[in-house]
Amino acid sequence: MSEIAQWLKAWHATHEHGLRSRGISSAVSRPVPGTQSRRRPKSTAVKLTLESGERTGLVSLWESGAASLLFIDTGTGHTWQDDPVLTSEHDLPRILAPLVKRIEAAADGT
């Protein structure tokens, strides 16, 4: 597992209970290793999914540190996205905070 995947897994392990207590379900999907036979030489991104009510957040992190954050509110049709770059494990809270805040608003009923 890549260092980036380990960072996200550690963040999730630390925050999973707190997210759940605020009505947010979460799951981490491990990256699929790259294979030459499938013409995919690099691993896929490690992914974090956050859900509460009609709101969903998707986080994809690649080994390079590139990230993609996507928020979708299926009730209103509102979407938001960001493409930050991770340089260290300490970037995760700052990068994930806006997405968690948007998901959390659904748990609060706002």
Residue 37 lies in a domain: no
Per-residue pLDDT at 73: 96
Please list, in sequence order, all residues whose beta carbon lies within 8 angstroms of the beta carbon of residue 67, skipping any fewer than 6 positions away.
Answer: 59, 60, 61, 82, 83, 84, 85, 86, 95
Backbone angles phi, psi at 56, to 5 degrees: -130, 135
Q: For residue 87, give the DSSP letter.
A: S
9 falls within a domain: yes
How far apart CA 4 and CA 6 sit, in angstroms, is: 5
Residue 38 lies in a domain: no
**What's the pLDDT score for residue 97?**
95
Structural domain of 48: 3-31+44-108
Instruction: Quote the number of domains for the chain.
Output: 1
pLDDT tens by residue, the chain, 110 residues? 688 889 999 999 999 999 999 999 999 998 766 655 666 556 678 999 999 999 999 999 988 899 999 999 999 999 999 999 999 999 999 999 999 999 988 656 55
Q: Is residue 94 part of a domain?
A: yes
pLDDT for the residue 60: 95
